[in-house]
Amino acid sequence: MKKLILLSAIVLLTACKNDKSGNENRPATESEGQVVNVYTHRHYEADQELFRMFEEKTGIDVQVVNANADELIQKMSMEGEQSPADVLITVDAGRLTRAKEQGLLQPIESEILENAIPSHLKDEDNEWFGLTKRARIIAYVKDRVNPEELSTYEDLASDKWNDKVLIRSSGNIYNQSLLASLIAHNGEEEATTWAEGMVENMARTPRGGDRDQVKAIVAGEGDLAVVNSYYIGKMLNSSDPEEAATAEKVRLFFPNQEGRGTHINVSGAGVAKHAPNKENAIRFIEFLASEEAQEIFANSNYEYPVLEGLEPAQTLQEWGEFKEDTLNLSVLGDNNKEAVLIFDEAGWK
Amino acid sequence: MKQVGSRGIFSIGSRLQRLKRDSNRWSIFTLAIILFIALPIISIAIKLCDGPGETWGHVVDHLLLDYIGNSLFLVFFCGILVLLLGVSSAWFVARYEFPFRKQMEWLLILPLAIPSYIVAYTYAGIFDYGGTLDLILRVLDLEFIRVDIMNKTGLAFILGISLFPYVYLSARAFFINQANNLLEASTMLGVGEVKTFFKLMLPLARPAIIAGLILVLMEVLNDYGAAKYYGVNTFTTGIFRSWFSLEEPDTAVYLSALLIVIVFALILFEKWQRRNVEVSSSKSNNHRIHRKRGSKGMQVSILCFVLIPVALGFFIPVLQLIYWTFLTAGKVFDMDFIMLSVQSFGIAIISALITVFFAVLLIYFAKWSMLSFFKNIAKMGILGYAIPGAVIAIGVMIPTLAFDKWLIHFLDDWFNIHTGLLINGTLVALVYAYSVRFLAVAYNPIESTSLKVHSTIPDSSKVLGVGNLKTFFKIEFPLIKAGIFSALILVFIDVLKELPLTLILKPFHINTMAVKAYQYASDEMVMEAAIPSLFIIFTAAIPVIFLNKLLIRK
């Protein structure tokens, strides 16, 4: 018992000590001792690299809490005025809208951000800004599906795809946002019919993540999988040669090209309402929208940069350009709850 | 307590009198600790008064049946699987001599070292298209066999193979320490091995086995990561969904309340089923079990049989993880990783010490309080284990934030000191939440060893005029040391593996291995999650082996 206590004391001491020595070693800059507290749902290696770059550039220490966006929003709203959060980053526009509605974000003035980011990818009151784009595409196995038969998301619910479609569960935010966009474009009634048709057409009850859907179509469980574009990019460049080989066997289809364009979503950031370090928070988001940061987003995570005129990663270029749905992404948040309710009624697990 | 109900109106009066007579300072201390531990749960309960949210009707119409059905399905089939694996392996290890028996004893506990959501990910990886099984079949030039594990049957299997050690441990303890005399009698009377097991040992071991089973079932009801990945909607995934997706904490609280009712029913069942069984072992003359040595063939078959759960629950997932590590090693391992492991380890040790401290206080204060029903109240303290980590986290935030805000105003008004949150977002809140969550894990082994200390021992010390505290440190503590160490180790392992609560409450700058592993896995970078997972497994495995030594030694 005594030994255990002693041991834990030592462990704790070393932990604290390392912390301090880390601070001392940092070069002295004008921003010495400054921090920016980031609540983020993103936990990619690319982000960590970007945080490090920001620290080196500005001397502002980036402190991170990683969790699911829903939990972070809950946490911020409970902490209220005392919340240490400066920046909230989520992987979906719907959640940012929700944070805005709950009064957790504040409008900011930044010429850099206003010029850099297209208007449909940011909040109309400048409370949040999209930073990277991902498209929700249809993946198919090339020898089983003729791409000419593919057209729109709406078409996936038609009888010809009976028992052929793979898509993950309705708990997933990307599906919720897709349905939210369908509600916006076609109205609630048609969206409900669509969800029911999709449930009818599913090759199996939803399970696993996006990568699992891709693997399942290659294995022959279905013919089409609705997934986010960057997962295919990641699979193609996977550490597991088998996974890369699996991804080689599928092709991408960008739906609704004839009409409104393919549904996209963003990872985005906003400044917290009670941010103790507001200036640092703005600098931080501006940095993430800068060219050098956008390049890293694009190259290591296979997402599309929001900055126009910037080349996406090699893998993405091979897929070609596509027309994107320019629906203002705030709508995804407005319709989110409606979407979840429709999913449940349609029996989408 | 004697029945007094028949005396009608007097009974209340006499009860109150007795309450007044028998309550002492220990009763007050007990209540204080219970309140402290139950505060998050009470906060949630108070929220129940707000009534269900708008979507409660929607949940009842479309989801509730599914949640109940799936949760009961898991409880039932996972229960059967852990009984089969846990009891049989415990019996073989306790009763028979066979090659590598000593190693098997601790290997059978090791599945506890792997978080069940990691097991879920590894098995999905094995049976995947292009997964390990596929590769092996290809080398052997065989057709790909599609094994679909990502469904509720698969989930019951995954939870079963990762949780059976709870049953194994409690059943084995009974077989080794308490079965010998009866076993000898039965053999002397010429009853066969098989019949002895089913007719004698199994009924006698039932309380021990079911105590272990209850722990498993609580874990099953609590599982989030594995159920979510396999697409099985349970109460816990439902709580997350209504809290976060439907934005209705009130509905989530109602679901939690229903879940708590189920767990409470399980606890009552456990109490009821051991009502007639003498728990404190006055039969101190019981020798340790005498092991039987069968023929060579039999010994080998026993070894093979016992290897099945070990392979399923430990070797197969670990080998898969090692394979993934091999593919991704360069990417994940760096200096930050070492820092991370130190933090993880430190937090787990501190939390284990504090949780065990609370458990000991609770058990002994309740004991020293003269009111016998306090022992049942003390049991309330262990409810936290049944509540999903995320709900506990919210439950911890409600009172601590209120206190924090009060403290900020207080310091500002009286001392003109401006501070931020002093408890939330620090280790204090996190460790507090761990204690609430894992008190049951510490409580059970300490309670069961403390019950073995016959009450005459401390009583005679007290008759001689020695106080409660002194008696505890001089006499009882040495006797229950083994229980305390088991409790420390079990809480340590649980904290090391804990996920949802840590995600919500962890401070800036601090990270744990479980969080790291989950971050990778939830980004569908399962392979990159292998290294942090292996770290958790091996850090937890060392104390597990130690734990085994402790339990085997009488």
Q: What is the pLDDT of residues B429-465, one digit of tens each?
A: 999 999 999 998 888 888 877 877 777 777 777 788 7
Q: Which residue of B has its CA nearest to A68?
A: B503
DSSP state of B200: I
Mean pLDDT of B177-201: 81
Q: Which residue of B has its CA nearest to A217?
A: B129
Residue A33's pLDDT band (cuts 50, 70, 90): confident
Q: What is the pTM of this model?
A: 0.82
Which among B66, B403, B523 is the top mutation candidate for probing chain A, defined by the most A β-carbons within 10 Å of its own β-carbon?
A: B523
Q: Rg (Cα) of chain A, in Å, rounded?
A: 22
Residue B553's pLDDT band (cuts 50, 70, 90): low
Most confident region among A7-16, B164-173, B277-286, B509-518 by mean pLDDT: B164-173
Residue among B66, B146, B524 minimizing CB distance to A231: B524
Mean pLDDT of A100-105: 93
Q: What pLDDT was estimated at residue A17?
A: 38
Instruction: Tell me if B353 and A347 make a contact (CB, 8 A cut-off).
Output: no
Instruction: Tell me if B246 and A340 make a contact (CB, 8 A cut-off).
Output: yes
If one compares B551 and B281, the residue with the highest pLDDT of the two is B551
Mean pLDDT of B406-435: 81
Structural domains in chain A? 31-133+264-313 (3.40.190.10), 135-263+322-346 (3.40.190.10)
Instruction: Tell me if B241 and A210 make a contact (CB, 8 A cut-off).
Output: no
Mean pLDDT of B215-242: 86
In angstroms, the separation between the Cα of residue B371 and the nearest Cα of chain A is: 31
Kindly report each contact of residues B306-312 with a partner whose C-beta sits within 8 Å and lies 24 or more positions away, as own/partner: B306/B89, B306/B92, B306/B93, B306/B98, B306/B104, B306/B108, B307/B104, B308/B85, B309/B85, B309/B89, B309/B108, B309/B111, B309/B161, B309/B164, B309/B168, B310/B104, B310/B107, B310/B108, B310/B110, B310/B111, B312/B161
- Over 80: is that where the pLDDT of B38 sits? yes
Kindly report each contact of residues A114-122 with a partner whose C-beta sits within 8 Å and lies 24 or more positions away, as own/partner: A116/A289, A116/A290, A116/A306, A116/A307, A117/A289, A117/A306, A117/A307, A118/A306, A118/A308, A119/A328, A120/A326, A120/A327, A120/A328, A120/A329, A121/A266, A121/A268, A121/A306, A121/A329, A122/A268
- Indicate if ipTM > 0.85: no
CATH code reported for the domain at B64-276+285-327: 1.10.3720.10
As a whole-number percent, the residues of chain B with pLDDT over 90 amount to 18
Which CATH number does the domain B25-54+333-511 belong to among 3.30.420.40, 3.30.70.1520, 2.60.40.740, 1.10.3720.10?
1.10.3720.10
Most confident region among A295-309, B59-73, B278-292 by mean pLDDT: B59-73
Instruction: Tell me if B247 and A98 make a contact (CB, 8 A cut-off).
Output: yes
Q: What pLDDT was estimated at residue B276?
A: 63
Q: Which residue of A has its CA nearest to B120?
A: A208
Domains of chain B by residue range? 25-54+333-511, 64-276+285-327
Q: What pLDDT was estimated at residue A7?
A: 52
